Amino acid sequence: MSMPPLSIGAALPAGFAPPIPMDLATLGVRENLVLDLVLRRLMLEGTSSLTAMAQKLRVSVPVVDHIFRYMRAQQMVEVKGMTGNDYNFVLSVAGRQTASERFQISQYAGACPVSLNDYHAAVRAQSAKVDLVVPDRLLDQLGPALIAQSSIFVYGPSGNGKTSLAERMLRVYQDAVMIPYAVEVDNQIISIYDPVVHHALTMEDNEMDPRWVLCRRPCIVVGGELIPSMLELRLDESSGIYSAPLQMKANNGLFIVDDFGRQLMSPRDLLNRWIVPLDRRVDYLTLRYGVKFQIPFELLVVFSTNLDPSDLADEAFLRRIPNKIYVESVTAQVFDQIFDRVVSARRVPTEPDSAEYLRRLCLREGRTELRACYPTDICNILSSISQYENRPIQMTKPDLERATALYFAKG
């Protein structure tokens, strides 16, 4: 999904700007956890300095210096020299033994995690607030749901842009949010920041806690591949690191369930899994050894389907999705507007009545509705034909006849 660029002025955290913690008390996580990170990082790096270690772990130099002085007193490190006022150090024999033991428990040696309490506070502080101008009738239906940040059921015939409409809801937000690299729960590391999902932005403010990444509000789209395990913590046995479930990665953003009802996970299972989160805006996750904890469920969930909502869910669940928006087939006028945009964007030469002729072809053989996808899909076929015949793309009546014959299945 292409996104509009955020200006420098717009790329600001939405109500949450954590300062750099200068000591362990304000860092918010246990001293032993930071010690383990330094041990594992030093085991991987071989040699480090206070400044380099602080950069790797995304913490301040005073925090690393505190851990370094403890390790030096316990003869876990050896100083190999100085670079200016900075120490260069390596693990001692005793330090390597301890690091090896800690490495067996977890291999995480990245950014220092934030506490679960700090994560809760950040997500709540960055809940989306929208200021909309919605002149269109369909957007007038979407507007109240976006303002309320309540779940939405988008349904109607396939090919009319339900998924595109859902993805474009994210464009109404002109701010950015802070995403933590990781969260600590019961001394376990849960990795949250995912460069595949989260689009990082440049942040010029060097006074922000570097354990957080400034990102666009996330948008996660899942389709038929959705299975129950994607909504739970996943432990990597080899590294000892948990990966956050999709809904946790989507916090402060958008979660789209595309083609709802056609997942490997049954609609009933998904609805039962989310009936409490949708109602109370909290979710519950469980660590491998049974510890259960609460996380915010601060996201806009959009269910997109071409099936009847009443065939997918019972009344109790549908009540928790207060906004049900029907996306109907397009009118001839809208069809022509889409057609004009498509051919203009692709610079396809057309004849004066090409749009009208394509409409007639689309409505032949008993078809009664125009779909928003037809102009783009037909144009794609025309492009393939032109490449096959090694000639420039064109849109003559014979070309349109040929393309629509390939596109529409015979009844």
The candidate with the shortest Cα–Cα distance to 28, out of 120, 103, 101, 104, is 120
Per DSSP, the three-state class of 80 is strand
CATH number of 30-110: 1.10.10.10
Q: Which CATH architecture has domain 332-407?
A: Orthogonal Bundle (1.10)
Q: Which residues are bridge partners to 283 per DSSP?
A: 295
CA distance 267 to 260: 7
Type and span of the H or E element at 70: helix 61-73
**Per the structure block, which two tokens stand in for 253?**
């953003």
Cβ atoms of residues 368 and 408 within 8 Å: no
Question: For 299, which DSSP code?
Answer: S
CA distance 314 to 329: 26
CA atoms 242, 246, 247, 252: torsion sign: positive
Give the end-to-end CA distance of the chain in Å, rounded to a whole number.
Answer: 34
Tokens 């464009």 sit on residue: 171
- Give the model's pLDDT for residue 135: 37
Segments in 220-324 forming alpha helices (H): 246-249, 267-280, 309-312, 315-318
Q: Using alpha carbons, list the distances in angstroms from residue 408 to 4, 58, 348.
A: 34, 56, 22
> Which mean pLDDT values do the consecutive 10-residue runs of the chain (411 residues) have?
38 75 95 96 95 96 96 95 93 95 93 96 83 51 69 81 74 83 96 95 82 92 90 94 96 90 84 86 95 94 84 77 81 90 90 92 86 91 93 91 89 57
- Give the model's pLDDT for residue 24: 94
**Per the structure block, which two tokens stand in for 85?**
């006022």
Q: Where in the chain is the domain with CATH 1.10.8?
A: 332-407
Segments in 220-296 forming alpha helices (H): 246-249, 267-280
Q: Which residues are bridge partners to 47 per DSSP?
A: 90
**Per the structure block, which two tokens stand in for 247?**
């809904």
Phi, psi (deg, nearest 5) at residue 218:
-70, 155
Q: Is the pTM of this model over 0.85?
A: no
Q: Which residues of 27-45 are buried (b: 16+ CB within 10 A; e: fewer)?
A: bbbeeebbbbbbbbbbbee
- Give the model's pLDDT for residue 5: 38
Q: Which CATH architecture has domain 115-326?
A: 3-Layer(aba) Sandwich (3.40)
Cβ atoms of residues 75 and 50 within 8 Å: no
Type and span of the H or E element at 303: strand 300-305
Q: Where in the chain is the domain with CATH 3.40.50.300?
A: 115-326
The contacts of residue 400 (CB under 8 Å, 6+ apart) are 354, 357, 358, 361, 378, 382
| Strands (E) located in 36-97 | 47-49, 77-83, 86-91
**Per the structure block, which two tokens stand in for 228?**
């129950």
The candidate with the shortest Cα–Cα distance to 211, out of 37, 87, 42, 68, is 37
